[in-house]
Amino acid sequence: MATDVTVPTLGESITEATLGQWLKKPGDPIKADEPIASLETDKVALEVPSPVAGVMGDQLVAEGATVEVGAVIARIEAAAGAPAKENAGGPPASTPVNPKGAGENVEPRTDEAPADEAPAEADEGASLTLSPAVRRAVLEHHVDPSKIKGTGKDGRLTKDDVLAAAKAQQDGAPSAPATQAPAQGAQSPAPAAGPSPAASQGERREERVRMTRLRQTIASRLKEAQNTAAILTTFNDVDMSAVMEARARYKDLFEKKHGIRLGFMGFFVKAAALAARDVPSVNASIDGDEIVYHDYLDVSVAVSAPNGLVVPVVRDADRMSFAEIEKKIADFGKRAKDGSLTMDDMKGGTFTISNGGVFGSLLSTPIINPPQSAVLGMHRIEERPVVQGGQIVARPMMYLALSYDHRLIDGREAVTFLVRMKEALEDPTRLLIDL
């Protein structure tokens, strides 16, 4: 008897999603609650678990198709069915799972793999469940996922794990997965030279890839912000000497006591909370012909994920300690890479901080995240000559950019907000005594 697998509830006001990828093939053995498919919604990617243990049956929806909440997308056959019992007495190589991640639906064959190699690989590969981003990285870099130790939740592979394994594979002696090039590279005399075969020199190629639902939503919301809000950006620079000195002095004690590294984001979130008290319009929003002021600061922190930029929310950030802020942001970053952020993590937000400096950005004009009215852009720290006391000295400087909705926030208020942040960051004692 087959059990239907339906699209779960996706969150408030979300009624449909895109089936990103099937994580199991027909005939694959499945455990209860094991992910069998990934869905992409407007905000996050999530996995659909199997309601029962058994064998993967019919897949009723193709990858890339739009599905509604409650729709039946697959069926799970009873574990006692033929696909599960045929291999009971044979070698595990008959399991129809491709541990190399080659992306091909290979039919089970019990007469091809050597008996001394197949059992270990099949058992190890059968337990692997790869997210879409990880599976794509495996295919691109030709690595064996069964030989990579996962650092994600429950030991699952992340994209960084695959990239690290690929780099190690390139630095060392070529291994079997790396040198077994696909058919199109068979004519290349030097497979290790790179992913592009020599025969493709001079060719002009194009590739069309359908935008993910998340990317479509990002594009739509950013364009909506430009069309709706009167966006303007103001800048200031900050001498980061005091913050860097405080981090260097207390980082070991901080990590020993709280179990988390003392980063820059804690300082910036606290400084933003302090500045928002003096300039409350930066933390407000427009609703029709009314202005909504918030007596709390929920900071949306822009985090890079495999499928695009996501903005999980640090709630009540103005009431949190440095350690609580750092732990929350570190957790968001890890879960963004694993693809385990939830819809609740994304809801709300009254102000956004985007740190382009981690990618090397010197200056930018960030776009606000509706219905918010302002976004702070952080950038890289670099030594620049500044004049202090009549002397030209080198100081670690960072440019700050505040993009804001000019319908609500005047230029004077935007400049005042950045000045308050600059004062707090250049003299962190202000953060402690609330000045």
- What amino acid positions are annotated as catalytic residues? 406, 410
Which pair of tokens denotes residue 212? 């993910």
One-letter amino acid for residue 80 of the chain: A
Residue 212 contacts by C-beta under 8 Å, 6 or more apart in sequence? 18, 20, 40, 307, 308
Helix (H, G, I), strand (E, B) or coil at 202: coil
User: Please, are residues 329 and 301 in contact by the beta-carbon 8 Å criterion?
Assistant: yes
For residues 328 and 414, give the distance between their C-alpha atoms in angstroms, rounded to a whole number: 27
User: Please, are residues 376 and 352 in contact by the beta-carbon 8 Å criterion?
Assistant: yes
Which pair of tokens denotes residue 349? 């937000």
User: Please, are residues 373 and 349 in contact by the beta-carbon 8 Å criterion?
Assistant: no
Helix (H, G, I), strand (E, B) or coil at 170: helix
For residues 335 and 93, give the distance between their C-alpha atoms in angstroms, rounded to a whole number: 34
Q: How far is CA 264 from the centre of its chain?
A: 20
CA angle centred on 424, ends 418 and 425, rounded to 5°: 90
Which pair of tokens denotes residue 324? 């609580």
Helix boundaries (H) for 52-131 = 82-85, 118-126
For residues 93 and 350, give the distance between their C-alpha atoms in angstroms, rounded to a whole number: 54
Which pair of tokens denotes residue 352? 């956004």
Helix boundaries (H) for 310-410 = 322-338, 343-346
- Among 47, 41, 43, 42, smallest CA distance to 5 is for 47
Provide the terminal-to-terminal Cα distance of the chain, rounded to the nearest Å: 68
For residues 116 and 108, give the distance between their C-alpha atoms in angstroms, rounded to a whole number: 17
For residues 172 and 129, give the distance between their C-alpha atoms in angstroms, rounded to a whole number: 27
E-strand stretches of 263-390: 285-287, 290-292, 299-301, 303-305, 308-310, 313-314, 351-355, 374-378, 382-388
CA 325 to each of CA 305, 317, 328: distance values in angstroms, whole numbers, following the listed order: 20, 7, 5
For residues 401 and 413, give the distance between their C-alpha atoms in angstroms, rounded to a whole number: 14
